Structure 1
């Protein structure tokens, strides 16, 4: 398989008339890394992916793959391959011919292209289904065939457009594991668009949070989770409470992780304490998730270990005291 390629976006911009979808972003994706572009609908992540693929023209800025500016190169000349959300398999072709189709279009002989298709199907554990039509496969199996078809061109960059969104939750976890394994085994650059924070955390070594066409923050998932730069990142990545300045004595807006908060009475061993009312609670097995109404916080979540919660359970409508340590307060830039 081809070694992974670096991808660099330099002041990359995409406008549709007066509407700016991607607003002059800078990003470098190292060769062989797994990058997830994530954010809400309309944030610009899919337009960015499609510009990298060559399926959208670049309005301004430069796109480099390896050492080459590829702004005007057609998709087939970029060393990239795209796996679409819908999989887009040909219904009248079996798995082997679906995977081999792009090689057929390039004039590769039948024996060679079928041999390489068989190798790709084995790579994604679909060799035993080589003769089946797409209609005879499950959604997860169709996805594996689509992956094999993208990889057969030996790209330096694999582009994935929300590849797990159509799968049920159990299969989504299985396919996350499969994507991680393939990335490790193949070693090329993966760029994966998703709206799922969980997906990005599980897969990426570089997570890029986008909002209104701009990059809010980019870095390793753990860095984004523990040190969100803005209130938007803290809320979108999840697991944090955003508290307005002055509510608990701090001058600026800050974030506190929901799993660092304790509930109790006046004996709480924390420097910062507030009172609120339990609005809702959910039992998640290993943990219990509560939502509190607290002045100065639009949403205030508490995640307690199951045993800790049931040592002193509370119910909806109860008045409670919540507390956390000052060392767990994370200041936000905006």
Structure 2
């Protein structure tokens, strides 16, 4: 493998004509990190990946691998390798020659490059398919060949552009395990673009949530889920209720439903603040002493196996408004069916004050 090194983006900007796709972002990805760039379509994540790969020119800023600025280097000289979404396998070449192709372009002797290709096929458990053409492989098998081909040059970082999007759910979960295993075994950085929250949470050491060309939050999966920095992150990651609440000018406390308050964090101000409450931290039932809560009407019930999601439309809120006027409660299956509710029923919702997270925006 090539020498490992941190990947750093320093005020990287990408323009397409008059439109800004990536807006002066700065990010450091430590060597050996599994990093997922996560966000909705058009947020700039694929443009960022392609600039790192050298397939898009940078409009401004720098990209460094280790201590070297790689902005002007061609893709083959950067120490990175790209695995494309459509795999881009050569249909007329068998698996060995597909994997060995880049070594052929470098002038390596046939026997040597094919031997090296077989090593990579064993790494991805595809040695038994070495003589097959791509058309004779399943989608998951083609992906493994594309992965071996990307790794054969010994890159410092592997760049993956939505590599699992074309796979069925069962195979997607299996390939997630394979990608994580390979990344740990090889010890190199993987930078993986996805719009799937589940994928990013399952794979990443570092989750980078992007929105409108900017980085909203870059942190561990657990931090992003438990401590979303902004309302956008809380909405996009899912599983959070967002409330916009008044701040009591007398004591600076955020006024929560149920006539209880929590203090603002140091340095925070304003007449209103947004907070988030995880759906699985809320419960059906009235608030007891020191808890927040409200009454409302059941708007939706979704059975999801181990959990049941219940949507509640609030009634009579004074100092708070709730995103989309619906509060979601995730109830475990046994608890729900011990006291089930149906659409149209009156219901109370409550949560502990310690389960409130104050958002920065």
TM range (shorter): over 0.9
Tell me, in whole angstroms, the C-alpha distance in 2 between the residues paired with 1:285 and 1:5. Answer: 44
Q: Please say if residues 287 and 305 of structure 1, whose CA atoms lie closer than 8 Å, have aligned partners that are also in contact.
A: yes
Q: 1:169 to 1:182 in 2, by over 3 A?
A: same
**Unmatched 5+ stretches in structure 2:** 247-255, 262-271
Query: What's 2:356 paired with?
Result: 329
Q: Please say if residues 126 and 144 of structure 2, whose CA atoms lie closer than 8 Å, have aligned partners that are also in contact.
A: yes
- Of residues 334, 337, 342 in structure 2, which corresponds to 1:310? 337
Q: What is the deviation of 1:5?
A: 2.5
Tell me, in whole angstroms, the C-alpha distance in 2 between the residues paired with 1:33 and 1:269. Answer: 45
Query: What's 1:157 paired with?
Result: 157
Tell me, in whole angstroms, the C-alpha distance in 1 between the residues paired with 2:287 and 2:185. Answer: 53
Q: What is the deviation of 1:282?
A: 1.5
Tell me, in whole angstroms, the C-alpha distance in 2 between the residues paired with 1:149 and 1:300. Answer: 47
Q: Please say if residues 83 and 146 of structure 2, whose CA atoms lie closer than 8 Å, have aligned partners that are also in contact.
A: yes
Length, aligned pairs only: 333
Query: What's 1:58 paired with?
Result: 58
1:290 aligns with 2:290: no
Residues 136-215 of structure 1 aligned to structure 2 (within 5 Å): 136-215=136-215
Query: What's 1:276 paired with?
Result: 296
Q: Please say if residues 279 and 291 of structure 1, whose CA atoms lie closer than 8 Å, have aligned partners that are also in contact.
A: yes
1:256 aligns with 2:283: no
Q: 1:261 to 1:269 in 2, by over 3 A?
A: farther
**Unmatched 5+ stretches in structure 1:** none
Q: What is the deviation of 1:267?
A: 6.5
Tell me, in whole angstroms, the C-alpha distance in 1 between the residues paired with 2:297 and 2:2. Answer: 57
Deviations 1:186-221 (A, max 9, x none): 111100000001000000000000000000000101
Q: Please say if residues 208 and 215 of structure 1, whose CA atoms lie closer than 8 Å, have aligned partners that are also in contact.
A: yes
Tell me, in whole angstroms, the C-alpha distance in 1 between the residues paired with 2:134 and 2:99. Answer: 11
Q: What is the deviation of 1:281?
A: 1.5
Q: 1:4 to 1:277 in 2, by over 3 A?
A: farther
1:117 aligns with 2:144: no
Residues 11-26 of structure 1 aligned to structure 2 (within 5 Å): 11-26=11-26
What SS does the aligned partner of 1:125 have? coil
Q: Please say if residues 206 and 218 of structure 1, whose CA atoms lie closer than 8 Å, have aligned partners that are also in contact.
A: yes
Tell me, in whole angstroms, the C-alpha distance in 1 between the residues paired with 2:239 and 2:62. Answer: 36
1:238 aligns with 2:259: no
What SS does the aligned partner of 1:236 have? helix
Q: What is the deviation of 1:56?
A: 0.3
**Bigger Rg over Cα:** 2
Deviations 1:35-90 (A, max 9, x none): 00000000000000000000000000011011100111110110000000000111
What SS does the aligned partner of 2:113 have? helix
Tell me, in whole angstroms, the C-alpha distance in 1 between the residues paired with 2:7 and 2:52. Answer: 8
Q: Please say if residues 301 and 311 of structure 2, whose CA atoms lie closer than 8 Å, have aligned partners that are also in contact.
A: yes
CA RMSD of aligned residues (A): 1.3
Q: 1:54 to 1:114 in 2, by over 3 A?
A: same
Return the TM-score normalized by structure 1: 0.97
Q: Give runs of ≥4 in structure 1 deviating > 2 Å.
A: 1-5, 246-251, 266-270
